[in-house]
Amino acid sequence: MGDGAARLEGRPTLGSLARELGVSRQTVSNVLNNPELVTESTRRRVLAALEGTGYRPAPGRRVPHTQRPMAIALRLYPAGDGVNGTLMDRFTHRITEYAQQRGYRISLLSARDAADEVRLLSELHHDWAIDAAVLTDTYAGDPRPGLLVQRSIPFVAFGRPWGDEAAAHSWVDVDGRAGTLAATSHLRALGHTRIGYIGPEAPGVCDDRRSGWRDGVAGAGPDPEDLQEVVAFDTARVGAEAARRLQARGATALVCGSDTLAFGAVTALRRAGTTLPVIGFDDTPVARALGISSVAQPVEAAAQRLIDILLSEGPATRPRQVLLEPHLVLRNLEPFVS
């Protein structure tokens, strides 16, 4: 495969293509949308000409009869080493199932970094191997949305364009801040005034979750900064160590930015013979097995909305931006083994 990006510029339109072939715009449109209305020789001639160009209809208006793949690319990230990996597993499963119902397949790709992902998507799109892409794991300064818009590759992002308020592409995300705010508010309603937070600090998802806790503890009493454990890694061991420090500083309840951290915190506290209410994030199988309360993301709904938006978009549609609400799953904080 060559430099797909360069070849993508100056793509022909239905009109320029019709002029080039000496047929009407309507004929080209019929070949793509109502092939039964044109003669076999016209159909073959127009499809052969299309072959050599970059022209293609919007993803939702694809014609199965052209025998082109109807595929949506999705980059697969390495399986995490923690407890949270199941979330993207659920997402991938649902997006595969729902895209298939709508006539599309999910085509996986593996990439070293954002530039590599964009390069691969450009090549695959140019070669007609994919029709569109779903981006996941967006971050502050993410170059991918801008590059894909520039290359006219249809896509929807699962994740907001953090820090880029002017971004004009479609995305679906889950309101993480609302989730940690609901968790913190629940603990305050139970009478807690010293609620600690364990989580990483980073622009985007991490800071968003942390801001929900910060808003939730505002006015509760002590300086929130004292009850915050900013951690570098999302591992159970890190969660365990942070929980012990927060307990020593007088925290009576904990909100965690992930179930991995919550899992470590709960295990450490139980080993120390105490139990504090702990609320995690992502409602993983491990949180369910250990009876840890958690914030649940509607990832299946997100997958479905992404596909709906992707397949309803055309050159004339406006970008759509959807923020879904998570919900709090409350569990007995005693372990299931009574």
Cβ proximity to its own copies, 68 vs 320, nearer residue: 68
CB of 99 to its own copies, least distance (A): 9
Q: Kindly identify the residues of this chain, within the stretch 15-54, that bind its own copies according to CB under 8 A.
A: 44, 48, 51
Measuring CA to CA, which residue among 294, 272, 59 is closest to residue 153?
59
Total site size for its own copies, rule CB under 8 A:
54
Residue showing tokens 């904990």? 254
**CB-based contact 223:251 (threshold 8 Å):** no
196 membership: H or E segment, kind and range: strand 195-199
- Using a 10 angstrom Cβ sphere, with 0-12 exposed, 13-18 middle and 19 or more buried, the burial of residue 97 is middle
Single out the residue of 8, 21, 63, 129 in contact with its own copies (rule: CB under 8 A). 129
Q: Which residues on adjacent β-strands are paired with residue 324?
A: 174
d(CA 323, CA 172): 6
Determine if 127 is a binding residue for its own copies (CB under 8 A): yes
Determine if 273 is a binding residue for its own copies (CB under 8 A): no
Q: Kindly identify the residues of this chain, within the stretch 87-106, that bind its own copies according to CB under 8 A.
A: 89-90, 92-93, 96-97, 100, 105-106
- Angle made by CA atoms 311, 73, 70, in degrees to the nearest 5: 55
d(CA 104, CA 95): 10
Determine if 236 is a binding residue for its own copies (CB under 8 A): yes
**CB-based contact 229:245 (threshold 8 Å):** yes
SS3 state at 250:
coil
DSSP summary character for residue 54: -
Determine if 336 is a binding residue for its own copies (CB under 8 A): yes
Determine if 85 is a binding residue for its own copies (CB under 8 A): yes
Single out the residue of 271, 274, 275, 314 in contact with its own copies (rule: CB under 8 A). 271
Q: Kindly identify the residues of this chain, within the stretch 304-323, that bind its own copies according to CB under 8 A.
A: none
Single out the residue of 54, 222, 298, 335 in contact with its own copies (rule: CB under 8 A). 335
Determine if 64 is a binding residue for its own copies (CB under 8 A): yes
- Using a 10 angstrom Cβ sphere, with 0-12 exposed, 13-18 middle and 19 or more buried, the burial of residue 258 is buried
Measuring CA to CA, which residue among 5, 26, 48 is closest to residue 151?
5
Cβ proximity to its own copies, 14 vs 289, nearer residue: 289
Determine if 128 is a binding residue for its own copies (CB under 8 A): yes
Determine if 233 is a binding residue for its own copies (CB under 8 A): no
Determine if 79 is a binding residue for its own copies (CB under 8 A): yes
Interface residue list for its own copies (CB under 8 A)? 1, 44, 48, 51, 64, 67, 69-71, 76-83, 85-86, 89-90, 92-93, 96-97, 100, 105-110, 124, 127-129, 235-237, 240, 260, 263-264, 267-268, 271, 285-286, 288-290, 335-337
